[in-house]
Amino acid sequence: MLQIIWFTALFPYVVLLVLLGRATTLSGADQGLMYYITPRWEELLGPGPWIDGATQIFFAYSIGTGALPALGSYNKFHHNCYNDALITCVVNTLTSLLAGCVTFSILGHIAQEQGAEVADVVKSGPGLVFLTYPEVVLTLPGAPAWSAIFFVMLVILGIDSEFCIVESFVTGMVDYWPEVLRPHRKKFTLGICMLMLALGIPMSSSEIEGIELALHWGGAYVFQLMDFYSASGMSLLWVCFFQTIAISWIFGANKFIECVHQMMGIRPNRFWYVCWVFFAPAVMVSIFVFYCVRYEPTKYGKSYEYPWWAETMGFMMSFSSMIWIPAYAIYYVVTSPGSLKQNLLKGLQPNIKSRVKIPKGEKTAVIPMSESSAGLLTKNNSFLVQ
């Protein structure tokens, strides 16, 4: 399994470097690169770049998806995840810049071939990888072989991404119902994969019978709608904001710093305290409000506008992941014994029942947890101390 992960993680870089070497030698590549590195400040007046930027950061680092807490729960108790976080951020950023250089080198070449501006051939979305990258692959010696390698790389990237997505969901469910699901983890994981496959079929179909639109609504239209609403920055901003508040304000940033210190032997400086408590929540709220005020409906391509009922479905998909936070808060306050004020104050307290001592020098192999525990609580809501 370890060898598979290493291969799926490193093989795309080999292909990307080959494409970079060829793309930068194409005619017009310099125009594309200049377009890539030239800032366009007027674009910042709209909500699009901010939401797209936040979404890219969240997805690139798997923030708010549950993948990081799920995978982190398999670390040794004293594992230095601080270094892991720094390495991940640096590698991810460099990878994005590298992929951007390849992409815009190709777009510059396409623009020169068509006699158009780079801005006119730039297209975002999933179609970019299937239209832009094959353009340079076809110019390589042995193009059929490189084409096969390129699309194998895409499959590998998809599988690699699914490792984290599936593992985050499966780990949360298994940790919540360990007696029922842990003995059947493999079967449960297989069932989740089959369910996700079935749910993804509408996004890969060429046409859905019975739906009449100006354009036949195939899988690409469904994918664009779900990508914009269900998996967009709006939902992730909402979830990540409350996760940040839960850790930095309710659990307590100082207490969290002590947790990091006892686990890794280093104490995060005040910069991280300010980011967790003030800067990150303020930025997320600002972007979310900006998005709501300057909301623009999604489009497929540059011209097709979705009908009103499709927009309604999109909002319902967004709310389906956002509504549970305030809904459970209201449910807890209303149904718990005691007055409204008492329940509200109790609900804003960390759910820690006891402090479990860990013998000095002992390391825990796996800490069972749910994502809400952020890896600091055991199954019985005990706080690990040494």
Binding residues for Na(+): 92, 157, 160-161
Query: How many CA atoms does the CB half-sphere of 33 hold within 13 Å?
Result: 14
**Contact indicator for 185, 171 with CB cutoff of 8 Å:** no
Q: What's CA 316's distance to the chain center, in Å?
A: 20
- The whole-angstrom separation of Cα 69 and Cα 374 is 6
Sign of the CA dihedral running 330, 316, 55, 21: positive
Per-residue DSSP letter, 377: B
Residues 6+ apart with CB under 8 A from 213: 307
- The whole-angstrom separation of Cα 99 and Cα 40 is 20
Q: Parallel, antiparallel, or unpaired for β 382-385 and 354-357? A: parallel
Binding residues: 92, 157, 160-161
276-282, long-range: CB within 8 Å, 24+ apart, which pairs? Answer: 276/244, 276/247, 276/248, 277/248, 277/249, 277/253, 280/244, 280/248, 281/241, 281/244, 281/245, 281/248
Burial class (CB in 10 A: 0-12, 13-18, 19+), 369: buried
